[in-house]
């Protein structure tokens, strides 16, 4: 029997959290608040390790055998990801106050801190800060791409595999319980109505931005390659649908590869660009993270100025490189930045995770479909 997807589990957790908040006694609420306190502290401790384990091997492996096409592909994928982040920032900055209005004000009444106290908590301080972890990851990654020895690169890759195992075997399985506890708390405090109202409106806005980004990507690819952009986008539809089901860019690579070749991309270019972009091209994922973060920032009066979010968007594009190929990998990699750069605490991070995961499959589908546009551009550059 096929196991339920993470998206289904999170959806069930949200519904159960809301329903059980109506009749659970306080002592039982506190049991789940205790779990959330311990799990949240564990996430805070693990985030610096996660950043080193994902970013360092990602940068190191990208540097192996670097050539002109590799550099150009990385540059285009990076520009696409960063541009989507800025597009999301400006769109949300304008649209949220206008389209959400009172919903955003009501959402802002949800307390950022737990008012239902856990029975106990276990402190797990991180051994280094998020900023230090990022710097260490850059140094390790760049070092692995430069030195000729294999010992450091092997150790870095092994540590990355360990981090991914912790994500796959510990964090992802426990995530629905964590989200259940968050919605149980919000429901018990009578704050669920404004939250659901925000969810519905934000999802619509994100989906419209998501389609807009894909259209722009293929219009640019069509201009560069001389292909019909709408036909090229239609050809990539099987990859989009496959990603909706798998929720994984890596698992969709065979279909993305096949459809890119159907678009006229040479097999050599497609075989190089598609697997690489499945790792580094996260345009729609970045779009969603920025949109979710903006909803929290604007609702609770946290910094949402251009300078703050510019740094966040640029660092997010780097941090999500080689994010684990599991559902929710990008948002896991982004937790440290949400806290250190935007001031979003653990409770609101849980809300962002839930909102992100509701649309996780659409973000993955947008990422892999956009890979087809990049393949068209690189194919044209190679021909010259």
Distances in Å between the Cα of 131 and the Cα atoms of 78, 124, 140, 312, 338 are 21, 18, 14, 12, 12
User: For 311-327, what is the mean pLDDT?
Assistant: 75
Band (120; pLDDT cuts 50, 70, 90): confident
Do residues 239 and 259 touch, judged by C-beta distance below 8 A?
yes
Q: Give the whole-angstrom CA distance, residue 281 versus residue 363.
A: 11
Q: Which residue's structure tokens are 């640029």?
A: 314
Q: Per-residue pLDDT for 7 more than 70?
A: no
Overall pTM > 0.85 = no
164-207 confidence digits (pLDDT tens): 788 778 887 888 888 888 788 777 766 666 667 777 788 889 88
pLDDT at 83: 94
82-103 confidence digits (pLDDT tens): 999 999 999 999 988 887 766 6
* Residues in contact with 112: Cβ distance below 8 Å, sequence separation at least 6, in sequence order: 300, 345, 347, 348
Q: Give the whole-angstrom CA distance, residue 375 versus residue 384.
A: 15
Give CA 51 to chain center in angstroms. Answer: 13
354-364 confidence digits (pLDDT tens): 778 777 778 88
pLDDT at 372: 92
For the ranges 43-52, 95-104, 212-221, 297-306, which has the lowest average pLDDT?
Answer: 95-104
pLDDT at 86: 95
* Residues in contact with 65: Cβ distance below 8 Å, sequence separation at least 6, in sequence order: none
pLDDT at 62: 56
Q: DSSP letters of 289-338? A: HHHHHHHHHHHHT----HHHHHHHHHHHHHHTTT--SSTTHHHHHHHHHH
pLDDT at 133: 80
User: For 59-81, what is the mean pLDDT?
Assistant: 74
pLDDT at 231: 93
Give CA 239 to chain center in angstroms. Answer: 19
- According to DSSP, residue 65 is labeled T
Q: Per-residue pLDDT for 65 more than 50?
A: no
Percent of the residues in the chain that have a pLDDT greater than 70, as a whole number? 85
pLDDT at 217: 94
Q: Give the whole-angstrom CA distance, residue 247 versus residue 257.
A: 17
Q: Give the whole-angstrom CA distance, residue 336 versus residue 344.
A: 10
pLDDT at 252: 77
Domains by residue range for the chain, with CATH: 6-383 (1.10.3860)
Q: Per-residue pLDDT for 321 more than 60?
A: yes
343 phi-psi bin (left φ>0, alpha ψ -120 to 50, beta other): left
User: For 324-329, what is the mean pLDDT?
Assistant: 60
Q: Per-residue pLDDT for 273 more than 70?
A: yes
Higher pLDDT, 105 or 43: 43
Higher pLDDT, 172 or 61: 172
């Amino acid at each position: 029997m096929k196991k339920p997807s993470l998206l289904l589990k999170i959806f069930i957790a949200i519904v159960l959290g809301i329903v059980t908040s109506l009749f659970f006694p306080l002592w039982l609420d506190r049991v789940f608040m205790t779990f959330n306190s311990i799990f949240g502290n564990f996430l805070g401790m693990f985030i610096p390790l996660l950043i080193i384990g994902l970013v360092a091997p990602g940068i190191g492996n990208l540097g192996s055998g670097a050539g002109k096409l590799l550099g150009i592909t990385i540059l285009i994928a990076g520009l696409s990801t960063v541009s989507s982040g800025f597009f999301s920032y400006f769109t949300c900055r304008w649209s949220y106050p206008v389209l959400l209005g009172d919903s955003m004000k009501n959402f802002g009444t949800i307390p950022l801190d737990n008012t239902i106290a856990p029975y106990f908590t276990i402190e797990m301080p991180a051994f280094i800060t998020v900023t230090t972890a990022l710097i260490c990851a850059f140094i390790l990654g760049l070092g692995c791409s430069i030195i000729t020895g294999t010992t450091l690169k092997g150790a870095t890759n092994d540590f990355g595999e360990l981090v991914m195992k912790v994500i796959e075997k510990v964090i992802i399985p426990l995530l629905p319980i964590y989200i259940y506890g968050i919605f149980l708390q919000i429901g018990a405090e009578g704050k669920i109505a404004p939250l659901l109202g925000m969810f519905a409106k934000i999802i619509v806005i994100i989906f419209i931005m998501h389609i807009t980004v894909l259209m722009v990507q293929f219009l640019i690819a069509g201009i560069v390659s001389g292909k019909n952009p709408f036909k090229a986008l239609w050809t990539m539809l099987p990859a989009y649908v496959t990603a909706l089901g798998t929720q994984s860019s890596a698992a969709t690579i065979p279909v993305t590869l096949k459809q890119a070749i159907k678009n006229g991309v040479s097999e050599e270019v497609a075989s190089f660009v598609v697997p690489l972009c499945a790792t580094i091209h996260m345009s729609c994922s970045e779009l969603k993270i920025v949109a979710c973060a903006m909803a929290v920032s604007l609702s609770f009066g946290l910094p949402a100025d251009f300078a703050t979010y510019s740094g966040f968007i640029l660092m997010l594009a780097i941090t999500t490189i080689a994010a684990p190929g599991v559902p929710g990998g990008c948002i896991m990699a982004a937790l440290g930045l949400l806290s250190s750069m935007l001031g979003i605490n653990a409770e609101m991070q849980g809300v962002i995770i839930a909102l992100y995961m509701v649309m996780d499959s659409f973000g993955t589908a947008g990422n892999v479909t956009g890979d087809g546009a990049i393949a068209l551009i690189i194919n044209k550059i190679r021909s010259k």
